Structure 1
Amino acid sequence: MENVINTERVKLARESRGLSQSALSKKMKTASQVLLSKIEKGISNLTPEVLDELSQVLNYPKSFFYKNDELVPLKHFYFRKNLGTSQTKLKSLEAEINIINSNINELLDSIEIQNSIPYSNLEEFKNSPKILASRIKEFLNLPRGPIKDIVNLVEKLGIIIVYHNFNTDIKIDGVSLIGNNGVPIMIINKKIPDSRKSFTIAHELGHIIMHFKYGIITEDRDVEKEANEFASNLLMPNEDIKGDLFNLNSEKLFDLKRYWKVSAQAILYKSKDLGVLTPDQHRRWVTKFNYNGWRVKEPNEFNLTEPKLTQELIRIHLEELEYTKNDISELFGLSETELDQYYFNNYSSIKHYSSFKNNVIKLKLSV
């Protein structure tokens, strides 16, 4: 643990709990809003007494406030969903993402992730995400037809996927960023159905491949539309799926959902885009989905495989680096209860995920 308190972590802890300085000060006896403001700006020192109370009120171990990871601003993230909402909730979301980024960074101090991500400049593919998606499938030697396991595919590229229950009520499906260590991270809303997760993971993969390595994206480009088009054509290539889309009825639609490993709504959008459904026919399907409650909960849901890469990083710390659960709690600066919520309760097992070959994950050699 570092000897110097990082006052930026005070603000991070506060915002992660959805509190303003004023709201936090009302919960404290040792610090006014004036003092909290000066502490967060680095003008006043954080005394042991104030640190003790901050730790209790915000429910973070003291180790949380000594971390020195660089914070990533909200504008550097890519989201799948409209984020039109209050600044307080956006700050809370930004704080959660930065905490996960910090946790992954701590794990990667001892473990190396080697990636084989085919970063691409869209301009070299006629600015067509469809063409790029086709080339990516060729690059990855994927067969025609559906992608059977999008989670495994993405993790084998060296991209970390975290399923997370966001604390805010912002309707977000997923977010992607390049972590402080240079490893791409996808944070996917655990609460959404797996059929929606599938498209979201492909969407975020599109952001990582197209938008993370080539500087500033010009304002005339719609990066969300590009990521949607990439995901649609990666998961449902036009030439492979079009023949399946004629004469759709409910039974056929939901059978196709399970076969193509995407939501029925994604299939309907694809049908409209390919001209198999007219706009009027598509609107009738939307009305039917609304009437039956299928926009929220579709029939014929399927299960994706669980992300394993983060769990393998934790397993290596527990089993090979001889960390205890309490050690990881201190490493992350999270209480054991919150550690469970973030990582240990997200998966069926924390142990024995040894499915990653040495070209993806390996211990760093000490020097």
Structure 2
Amino acid sequence: MTIGQRIKQARKANNMSLRSLAEKAEISAMAISKYERDLDIPSSSVLLRLAQALNVSIDFLFRPQTISVQLQSYRKHAKLGIKEQEAIQMRIQEWLERYLEVESFFLDEIRPVNLPVYPIHSIEQVEDAAISLRECWNLGLDPIENLTQVLEDQGIKVGLISGFEHFDSCTFMADGFPVIVSKAELTGDRLRFNMGHEVGHLILDVKGVDPEPACHRFVGAFLVPEQVARFELGSRRTTLDMNELYLLKHKYGMSMQAWIYRAKDLGIISENAATRLFHRFRANGWHRKEPGEALASEKPLRMERLIYRALAEDLISRSRAQELLGEPLQLNWLVETFQQDGVAVGS
């Protein structure tokens, strides 16, 4: 990838027009256009201004492309425009390149992908697929405390991106390994739903069934298997209590509304009972923000952990670690404490 292509990638990742970048970097839009089309090469001082305006390092502009991202499954709102989609793709590609660079330091520890595929010819088969995946991953029937960690343990690369209001999540294969990326600004239950939905796209080979409802059904069946749902709710109910739903949400990490859908899908409550409950949620604005304390969000940690390991083993400098992390180092206070005690923590 040329310097010009890197400039264009960073500009699109920041969802900036040529004019807005030109104003921020104090460079003409015509000059930037020439750089992006490789018709001219920016001087070192211009490169510095562009890097600062794009919030990237100089090294990024010279970094060779190691992977190409093509998004497949895509959960988004109708308002998500083409330019935003391009920005999301560029942002994901930049993050994934950093991830792969970090992983290259520890090739012997790359997690093998454990991702079976289940043929689905009816919506009912989704329930069996969810149970089979739990068995494959040795999860039993207990609540999944941290879904993001489970996915990383199974060889799935998980990332979060922020700044795109109308984006939810996506999944794709890159060089043979699965990747799931979700919007960062979500409560824990919504994030877990996104992650589970994308897992559904990866493992369900849907034939003759609408894949979106199938993946929705998969999330509920994976987070709360039928046996568990009937144990918690009973076999047949006339309605569900809000306090009951709130407690179950925090026990299983699945939203109150998803619990209503789950109960309806399993025939525990009727369609009419579910409709009445959903009307109550909408009337109180709970369909956007559920009542009570929000479920804490989850954060993928594998990439961050590998960065700190590389730093500890003197494979990278602190400035390089910060660049790979994409944000300030979080443990500066701990590093300083260790250094005072004479413990090596990286250069």
TM-score range, shorter chain: 0.7 to 0.9
Q: Determine the C-alpha separation between the residues in 2 that align with 1:124 and 1:283.
A: 28
Which residue in 2 is equivalent to 1:63?
A: 59
Q: Determine the C-alpha separation between the residues in 1 that align with 2:118 and 2:310.
A: 37
Gaps of 5+ in 1: 212-216, 352-367
- Answer yes or no: is 1:15 the counterpart of 2:12: yes
Match of 1:311 among 304, 307, 315: 304
Q: Determine the C-alpha separation between the residues in 1 that align with 2:119 and 2:94.
A: 31
Q: Is the 8 A contact 1:105 1:179 kept in 2?
A: no
The structure-2 alpha-carbon separation of the partners of 1:152 and 1:85, relative to structure 1 and needing over 3 Å to count, comes to: closer
SS of aligned partner of 1:50: helix
Which residue in 1 is equivalent to 2:339?
A: none
Q: Determine the C-alpha separation between the residues in 2 that align with 1:23 and 1:260.
A: 45
State the AA in 2 paired with 1:320. E
Gaps of 5+ in 2: 336-347
- Answer yes or no: is 1:234 the counterpart of 2:222: yes
Q: Determine the C-alpha separation between the residues in 2 that align with 1:349 and 1:116.
A: 36
Which residue in 2 is equivalent to 1:88?
A: 83
State the AA in 2 paired with 1:267. W
Q: Is the 8 A contact 2:187 2:297 kept in 1?
A: no
- Answer yes or no: is 1:251 the counterpart of 2:251: no
Q: Determine the C-alpha separation between the residues in 1 that align with 2:120 and 2:313.
A: 45
Q: Is the 8 A contact 2:123 2:214 kept in 1?
A: no
Aligned-pair identity in percent equals 22
- Answer yes or no: is 1:280 the counterpart of 2:305: no
The structure-2 alpha-carbon separation of the partners of 1:104 and 1:94, relative to structure 1 and needing over 3 Å to count, comes to: same
What is the CA deviation profile of residues 51-80 of structure 1, one whole-angstrom value per residue up to 9, with x for unaligned ones?
A: 233123223221111112256455x24333
Which residue in 2 is equivalent to 1:99?
A: 94
The CA deviation at 1:151 is 2.8
The CA deviation at 1:205 is 2.0
Q: Is the 8 A contact 1:31 1:50 kept in 2?
A: no
Match of 2:180 among 166, 186, 200: 186
- Answer yes or no: is 1:324 the counterpart of 2:321: no
Task: Determine which structure has greater relative contact order: mean sequence separation of CA pairs < 8 Å that are 6+ residues apart, divided by chain length.
Answer: 1
The CA deviation at 1:223 is 3.4
Match of 2:211 among 223, 232, 238: 223
State the AA in 1 paired with 2:289. K
The structure-2 alpha-carbon separation of the partners of 1:148 and 1:9, relative to structure 1 and needing over 3 Å to count, comes to: same
Q: Determine the C-alpha separation between the residues in 2 that align with 1:176 and 1:37.
A: 32
Q: Determine the C-alpha separation between the residues in 2 that align with 1:329 and 1:141.
A: 35
State the AA in 2 paired with 1:295. H
The structure-2 alpha-carbon separation of the partners of 1:126 and 1:72, relative to structure 1 and needing over 3 Å to count, comes to: same
- Answer yes or no: is 1:132 the counterpart of 2:129: yes
Which residue in 2 is equivalent to 1:205?
A: 199
Q: Determine the C-alpha separation between the residues in 2 that align with 1:115 and 1:124.
A: 28
What is the CA deviation profile of residues 2-49 of structure 1, one whole-angstrom value per residue up to 9, with x for unaligned ones?
A: xx843221111111222122332344544433x433332334334434
The structure-2 alpha-carbon separation of the partners of 1:348 and 1:179, relative to structure 1 and needing over 3 Å to count, comes to: farther
The CA deviation at 1:304 is 5.8
SS of aligned partner of 1:168: coil
C-alpha RMSD of the superposition: 3.2
Which residue in 2 is equivalent to 1:157?
A: 154
TM-score w.r.t. the length of structure 1 is 0.77
Q: Is the 8 A contact 2:229 2:263 kept in 1?
A: no
The structure-2 alpha-carbon separation of the partners of 1:304 and 1:5, relative to structure 1 and needing over 3 Å to count, comes to: closer
TM-score w.r.t. the length of structure 2 is 0.81
- Answer yes or no: is 1:263 the counterpart of 2:255: yes
SS of aligned partner of 2:327: helix
Q: Determine the C-alpha separation between the residues in 1 that align with 2:243 and 2:219.
A: 24
The CA deviation at 1:349 is 10
